[in-house]
Structure 1
Amino acid sequence: MHTPLYTTTMLTALTILATPIMLTKTNQSYTNNIKLAVQMACIITTIPMMLFINNGTETMLTNMTLLTISNFNIKISFIMDMYSLTFTPIALFVTWSILEFSTWYMASDPHINKFFKYLLIFLIAMITLITANSLFQFFIGWEGVGIMSFLLIGWWYSRADANTSALQAIIYNRIGDIGLILAIAWLTSNMSNWQIQETLMHNFNDLMPALGLILAATGKSAQFGLHPWLPAAMEGPTPVSALLHSSTMVVAGIFLLIRVHPILENSKMALSTCLCLGAMTTLFTAICALTQNDIKKIVAFSTSSQLGLMMVTIGLNQPQLAFMHISTHAFFKAMLFLCSGSIIHNLSNEQDIRMMGGIKSTMPFTSTCLTIGSLALMGTPFLAGFYSKDTIIETLNNSYLNAWALMMTILATMLTAAYSLRITIYVQMKHPRHKPISPINENVKTLINPILRLAIGTMISGLLLTLTILPTKTIQMTMPMPIKLLAIMVTITGFILALDISNRTTTLTTPKQTMYHQFSNQLGFFNTMHRNTPNTTLKASQKLATQTNDLSWLEKLGPQGLSSAQMPAINLMSSQKGLMKSYLTTFIITTTLMLLLSL
């Protein structure tokens, strides 16, 4: 019924987004054109979303065949279902706010037009991935967000850290890409095309494609083992971090598992892998966030922790619930990064939370929104994070699944309150510890408007999504009171413990750093291991090549070895030793003696 309207509005939005890329300009109005294009696309894409909420109709658009090889077809195909119709306007809304913020944050950058163009291509790649109904299209979007993240993380390429962080991101994601390519190749051997919907109609009992898809999500969504690139990505400008963590790159891996969930749902091994991997990720990264001092890295580790929670939800066989957490998470995570960027910029590029303090007086608006974002991250009732996070933990409590994963997730929820409170105390409260001549000014429309917009989204998005898009996989609604209140109870416990520890450490002498503090502060010694592994390998290779190899083949068995072996025989057979001075001396003495005797 509404198929033409769906396709027309979505394709119109994509055309509007692509237009500024074609019309490259060098003047300052180009940034405003890009922001306006994203704003218009956001408004247009709300029309099909509201139609879907009202009527519940979904559609697919397949109108172009790219390539036909014997009986295998590659087609361009778009899908307008609950996931794409809901997430596209959310991603556009968040990007609109980030672009507006960027006009203030990157105002002094000489290449701001190129920066905006990169952000726009980043967004288009993500929308390509979200709306793809073909594995070929999906892979284009997947690689698109990967390469754009590489370019944007390394934006300040004159800094060595930015270059290494960008390389780190792309290399870790190549490992995930191997998993996706293997899964696609395995599916190709059993299918006549790459249409996702047609692929999911088959019953797959093989574990191989599921493990490939999980590996792909592990790399892209920074799960445990392939997580170090995510905190390193903070070397990019703050708008890049905000877009990367809220609605593009890192949620692509979880979105992949949501999109192809029918392949996973019949495999207990695959679901258990997701559950345990997610639980390990959410706890480990929460522990790492506890002792970081860089404000952006704390927020980055919180993203990785929330991605672990989404992976746990996939393992619970609840993809719609994971999608809901992606949608609510986008608002408050983008706002946390924009507030961090406002603080960093106003404090003359200071990122260490120990050098902040007292900004609730000097930057009241930023401080208020940072508090709202931290409360939403903790799962405070009636903010965005509560509606999805609380439901996930309730579902986990009522499942007949791994008690170890449940315990890890509950501990991570407690630690979320601790590191969120740590940001609040160090950054906003007590006396200022920053430089006294900081030019603090937050009375700028391009700073206030985007953060305010995201703050409103943080406060109402959870309720709106709960009322409009309910999970089709029903979850248990009746449960004992302690189970119902467990999430909020552990959050309050973590909050009180963190407050007590903060009071103790600020009023008493700080105790000596323990091994546990070093474990958390050194990111579980991952960086040390990553440096030691190539160092040890290179040293072993050097010894093998120079000492063992050369010594054996050159000096023992090779030319030098042969000559050395023949030396004793030469010495026995000949009295000539090559000692020229001795020979001359002997010759002169002998000649002199003969002359004397003859006379």
Structure 2
Amino acid sequence: MPGPIYPPTSSILLVLALLLYPILDRLFPHKNSTKELATYIKTAVKLSFFISLMPLAYLLFAKPESTVNSWTLIKTESFSMTISCNFDLYALVFIPIALYVTWAILEFAIWYMSEDMNIGRFFLYLLIFLMAMMILVTANNLYQLFIGWEGVGMMSFLLIGWWHARADANTASFQAVAYNRIGDVGFLFLMAWALNGFNTWQIEEINQLALDKNAAPGLIAAIVAATGKSAQFGLHPWLPAAMEGPTPVSSLLHSSTMVVAGIFLLIRFADLLATSQLALTICLCLGAMTTFITAICALTQSDIKKIIAFSTSSQLGLMMVTIGLNQPQLAFLHICTHAFFKAMLFICAGSIIHCLNNEQDIRKMGGVYRLAPFTCACLILGSLALTGTPFLAGFFSKDAIIEATTTSDLNACALLITLAATGMTAAYSLRIIFYVVMGQPRINPLSPANENSPHVINPLKRLAWGSIASGLLLFSYLMPEKTPLMTMHPILKTAAMIVTLAGLLLAFELAALAAKHYKPRPKREPYLFSLLLSYFPMLIHRSIPKMSLTMGQKFASQAVDQTWLEKVGPQAVNSSNRPMISTTSNLQRGLIMTHLAMLVLSTTLGIILGCQ
């Protein structure tokens, strides 16, 4: 029997009903146009956001521990599984943020995808994408979480490959699926480990029962799953490749849905992670490597969407570092603040791309502030929030993470490269502003530049307010449970600001040298290392297919050509009969030597037989 219905439960069920109605409505014949459906879905998400504020207010003022409602799904003698929803702090805070960001993205998509014939289906895909993420964050067992996990993976495949007539979009969607399947293997191993060891899939029960046992295998499986879904180093190339999809897809994918699912999984197992130093060390080193390598790759890219995509991967690495520091609430805070300014950055990029006739190369931009001043203002605001400028959204989460990093006694190398990546964040953010906003125009003079649409201005306004105020609000009302270190050296306290300013000054200096053509060509090795994505796609995407093709060629030539044709098949018959044929042919040539030899042989045999 289900438990009692609490205020958060009824509100969230109403939100789900509102979001589910447009999907069910498509099952029946209707006369609405696709654009009307798109507008209806946007309105449903907007209403859902306002309704979702009710359980959030209930959380802030009533402060319940958690609300778990269960319905029995499977019950046998040895195993029982319930459908249970966990409306705790993480779920009730994340859902309004996801709905708020999605509302802005859907409104922008009405303008961006206005010429698309299938805009209604596109909006349905985005809506299902959002609902799968909501299922994931409210799940209280691994089975439900896996449904949401696979839901966001399936919808990302459909949305990244939306323009499926393009070969690059098809390749990117299949690449996303292939890398996520590796992560899914880790998730399935986690489910099998939990079922075998504890006979349950309830997350709270696993966290309690595994405290006294060796939880390292299950935690490593969870880290592998998070590595695939949250694009950590080793399984990260699919994230920049996903930029082949429409800009609204990139904005939703990178801000508040799929890429944070892996981090959210590890936050759910934070109590268990705290007991395993091995798992924490893996998270710390993996996150540091991710944030450093992807920040290096972002420095030389010329596609504006790919630069922002690499910044997402770098911030995900920072969240993984926070998990490795055993600070899950700080990781969740960064997830929430990151959603606002990252969605705004992508919408600004989409607006600029649309205004410049689908031009994405920042080297062919410049002086765009004259054509789209509001978009450029929001682009600068989002870049400043991303670098951790004081009192913007990113500052409250990022500065707290860097403070926790500098005051920890863990792997010093991982902490140093995390600080270096923070400096590079400022460098590539300034590079976007320098090439896109500043300078003289390098654009096509006939570009249809126009940002004067409420579908562009209103979403940017809302996300700009979120990028300014969300950090302070979240930090004020959702203080971390673990008391942070209150006394530290001034250098440690200002380390984040020092590194960020160093990155900005270095980027300014390099930009000035580049403008003066001080050095016509950069150093080839480090430049190619960054431009070619640390050679990772070249090594993995080319070496493995080349190895497979070489192995197949050798197998075909040796097993088929040499073994069958020459050792067993027709060539074998020929080679085995050739000596006998040659001997018989030589005997019948009529040579004197042959006759004399036969005479001697027959005479000798006759004498031997006669003597007997």
Aligned partner of 1:220 in structure 2 is 229
Give the secondary-structure state (helix, strand or coil) at the position aligned to 2:494.
helix
User: 1:210-231: per-residue Cα shift (whole Å, max 9, x none)?
Assistant: 1000000000000000000000
Give 1:493's match in structure 2, choosing from 502, 507, 511: 502
1:571 and 1:80, CA in 2 relative to 1: closer, same or farther beyond 3 A? same
Structure 1 unmatched runs, 5+: 579-599
Work out which of the residue numbers 327, 331, 336 in structure 1 matches 2:336.
Answer: 327
Aligned partner of 1:92 among 86, 96, 99:
99
Between the two proteins, the alignment pairs up a number of residues equal to 578
Structure 2 residue 377 is the aligned partner of structure 1 residue 368: yes
CA distance in 1, matches of 2:397, 2:522: 39
1:104-160 CA distance string (max 9 Å, x none): 000000000000000000000000000011211100000000000000000000000
Residue pairs, 1:516-535, within 5 angstroms? 516-529=526-539, 530-535=541-546
TM-superposed CA distance for 1:561, in Å, is 2.2
- Output the CA distance in 2 between the equivalents of 1:5 and 1:114: 33
Tell whether the 8 Å contact from 2:70 to 2:85 is kept in structure 1 after alignment: no
Report the secondary structure of 2:215's partner residue.
coil
- The structural deviation recorded for 1:528 is 1.3
Instruction: Give the stretch that moved more between structures: 96-105 or 546-555.
Output: 546-555
Q: CA 1:75–1:576 in 2, change beyond 3 Å: closer, same or farther?
A: farther
TM-score after normalising by structure 1: 0.94
CA distance in 1 between partners of 2:491 and 2:311 (Å):
26
CA distance in 2 between partners of 1:177 and 1:110 (Å)? 34
**Is 1:35 matched with 2:45?**
no
1:337-378 deviation digits (Å, cap 9, x = unpaired): 000000000000000000100011111000000000000000
Q: Counterparts of 1:433-452 in structure 2 under 5 Å?
A: 433-452=442-461
Residue pair 1:200, 1:262 contacting (<8 A) in 2 also: yes
Amino acid at match of 2:418: T
Answering whether residue 568 of structure 2 is matched by residue 561 of structure 1, we say: no
**Aligned with residue 554 of structure 2, among 525, 528, 543:** 543
State whether structure 2 residue 256 is matched by structure 1 residue 232.
no
1:17 to 16, 19, 22: 19
2:72/2:81 contact within 8 Å kept: yes
Overall identity of the aligned pairs, in %? 55
- Give CA-to-partner distance per residue, 1:397-427, whole Å, 9 cap, x none: 1001010001110100010000000000000
Which residue in 2 is equivalent to 1:583? Answer: none
Alignment partner of 1:268 out of 252, 277, 281: 277
Alignment of 1:552 with 2:563, yes or no, is yes
> Which amino acid letter does the alignment assign opposite residue 188 of structure 1?
L
The range that moved more, 509-518 or 331-340, is 509-518
Contact 1:62 1:75 in 2 (8 A): no
The alignment partner of 1:227 has SS state of coil
- Structure 2 CA distance, aligned partners of 1:470 and 1:127? 23
RMSD: 1.6
Distance (whole Å) between structure 2 residues aligned to residue 407 and residue 495 of structure 1: 18
Q: Does the CA contact (< 8 Å) of 1:220 and 1:249 recur in 2?
A: yes
Deviation at 1:513, TM superposition (A): 4.5
Look up the match of 1:168.
175
Displacement of 1:2 after TM fit? Answer: 10
1:70–1:472 Cα change, 3 Å = same
- 1:63 Cα deviation after fit: 3.6
In structure 2, what is the Cα distance between the partners aligned to 1:542 and 1:95?
50
Q: Superposition pairs for residues 169-248 of structure 1, below 5 Å? A: 169-202=176-209, 203=211, 204-248=213-257
Secondary structure at the residue paired with 1:441?
A: coil
Q: How does 1:277-296 map to 2 (within 5 A)?
A: 277-296=286-305
Partner residue of 2:520 out of 510, 513, 516: 510
C-alpha distance in structure 2 between counterparts of 1:341 and 1:323, whole Å: 27
The one-letter amino acid of 2:584's match is M
Distance (whole Å) between structure 1 residues aligned to residue 5 and residue 66 of structure 2: 6
- Answering whether residue 406 of structure 2 is matched by residue 397 of structure 1, we say yes
Question: Distance in 1 between the 2:90 and 2:508 partners?
Answer: 39
Contact 1:60–1:77, Cα closer than 8 Å, also in 2: no
Q: In the alignment, which residue of structure 1 is the partner of 2:592?
A: none
Query: Structure 1 196/512 Cα, relative in aligned 2: closer, same or farther at 3 Å?
Result: closer
| Equivalent pair of 2:194/2:200 in contact (CA under 8 Å) | no
Relative to the length of structure 2, the TM-score reads: 0.92
Alpha-carbon distance, 1:244 to partner: 0.1
Q: Distance in 1 between matches of 2:522 and 2:476?
A: 51
Supply the AA of the counterpart residue of 2:554: K
C-alpha distance in 1 between matches for 2:420 and 2:588: 81
Distance in 2 of aligned mates of 1:514 and 1:54? 58
